Amino acid sequence: MSRAPQAITHSRPTLLIVDDDPLIGESLSFVLAADFVVEVRSSRGAAMALLKSGAFKPALALIDLGLPPFPDSPTEGFKLVGDLLSWAADIRILVLSGQNEESNARRARALGAADMVPKPCEPGHLKRLLLAALAGQKAEDAAEHDDALHGLIGDSLPMRKLKNQIDLYTSSTFPALIEGESGSGKERVARALHELSPRAKLPFLALNCAAISANLVEPTLFGYAKGAFTGAATAKTGYFEDAGEGTLFLDEIGELPLDLQPKLLRVLENGEFQRVGETQSRQSRARIVAATNRDLKTEVKAGRFRGDLYHRLSVFSISVPPLRELGDDKLKLMEHYRLQYAVNYLANYAAAQSSAKPTQPFDLDLPARAAWLSYPFPGNVRELKNIVIRLTAKYAGYTVGLSDLLSEFESFSTVEDVSNQPIYGALAKGDAIGSNVDARADIEKSALFSLDVKLREVELQYIDAAIAIAQGNMSQAARVLGMSRSTLYSRLDALRTSSGKAE
């Protein structure tokens, strides 16, 4: 199980509104108070101070992008999206946006925001959007229970490597460090390490080191004695004791205060720790798994992270690949989530609205599928899931075309943008497979025609052409194709392996 700092529980959904215009904040709070428990703050700093205090845990956040000290720029709003998701990965964020800020809204969605709310917004519509976002969060929670290997879906070369690492490290008692970009699924990997290990029936506790104030980290981790500080009316155990012999997952480990790092190092070295306000040593037998989206080697060189702690945490190091490197796995993930969210999302939304809704999943037409494969997903799996939830809400039971899909993407806003991507190529234009007549002839002349084989042939043709243009220089060919050199080699390996099997 995962724990967060204790907060007051409420029967209504909790909502944080962040807007520097007091009139907007007060008005929104007034119209939404009947359906939500609302807290309003005027700046990023004030909002995060509230959350880190542990006094309020919002399920939803409605934030303006233009916040002080730079109200004319979206910078603070973008940072707040990241801060909120670091504080709680399951919070659903809606961005308040003016009519001329579509590009900013796209960027916020790529960072992990669930959707945008154009200004001005009719209160009833705003309520429906918030309830839809909440339904999306509940659908995601329900989907997590059914995910194969906790959502580690796919058979691309990077995913096969990741799964092999997990298999190798599950039975060990040594610490593991999981590195990867925001939204790439580091907690999923940590849970897989636990669930596939002999500790599976023991506790799994997760602490986000960026989610609580620096002065609360030590008592939260180690516990405290009665009277250790003002407000400590009784003794309390910390995460190390509560985890027992299970797994303790420390997310955002790069945010751990420097003065606390020696105490964590001591636990890693000999299992010893002390509650705050005690001299008695206690023993921990939990396995420590840490995660970070920072380059900790760089942090060590800069003096912001202890080198001895880094080496102790990284006995086993696991790198989670970004979604842009996973090729066809992007489609596999879309297929997985669209089927689950069709049931879970719409059931939750229908319950909230007291109305029946269809439960059929959406589909993508061929050009849209090609665009999906071409899109780099800068927000990784988190962004992919948010897009699937939005498409489920808007197009349940329908086929989504290219223009509708492009409106959900940050990087592509026109057909021209995506049609210039190499993977899109022949699927949308028909270039590499000739004319429709040629394709029809291929299908008609053989009952064994395989679309998968044909698509692999098309992709291999494009790669071979890029290599020829680059005169055999693989780094230059990778740049022509818009991918990294390692991804190009992975693609070639997978294509040639599958072609060999097909033959």
* CA-CA-CA-CA torsion sign (59, 65, 66, 67): positive
The stretch 399-419 carries a mean pLDDT of: 76
Lowest mean pLDDT among 129-143, 245-259, 317-331: 129-143
Residue 462 has a pLDDT of 73
Q: Work out whether strand 37-41 and strand 176-179 pair parallel, antiparallel, or are unpaired.
A: unpaired
Task: Render pLDDT for 472-482 as a digit per residue (tens, 0 to 9).
Answer: 777 777 776 77
Task: Render pLDDT for 166-223 as a digit per residue (tens, 0 to 9).
Answer: 989 998 999 999 999 988 999 999 999 999 899 999 999 999 888 888 888 899 999 9
Cβ neighbour number for residue 475 with a 10 Å cutoff:
10
Task: Tell me the domains of the chain and their CATH numbers.
Answer: 14-121 (3.40.50.2300), 157-324 (3.40.50.300), 446-503 (1.10.10)
CA dist 298 → 254, 262, 290, 295, 303 (Å)? 11, 19, 17, 5, 9
Q: Work out whether strand 363-364 and strand 399-400 pair parallel, antiparallel, or are unpaired.
A: parallel
Q: Please, which residues have CB within 8 angstroms of residue 361's CB and are 6 or more apart in sequence?
A: 338, 339, 341, 342, 392, 396, 397
Lowest mean pLDDT among 46-50, 78-82, 166-170, 356-360: 356-360
Lowest mean pLDDT among 143-157, 224-238, 312-326, 343-357: 343-357
Lowest mean pLDDT among 77-81, 128-132, 139-143, 305-309: 139-143
The stretch 222-234 carries a mean pLDDT of: 88
Residue 148 has a pLDDT of 41
Percent of the chain exceeding pLDDT 70 equals 79
Asked if pLDDT for residue 426 goes beyond 70, the answer is: no
Residue 12 has a pLDDT of 85
The stretch 445-461 carries a mean pLDDT of: 62
Rounded CA gap, 413 and 425, in Å? 17
- The mean pLDDT value of the chain amounts to 81
Q: Confidence class of residue 427 from pLDDT cuts 50, 70 and 90?
A: very low
Task: Render pLDDT for 12-63 as a digit per residue (tens, 0 to 9).
Answer: 889 999 999 899 889 999 999 988 999 999 999 999 999 888 889 899 999 9
Following DSSP, what letter does each residue of 81-112 receive, concatenated?
A: HHHHHHH-TT-EEEEEE-TT-HHHHHHHHHHT
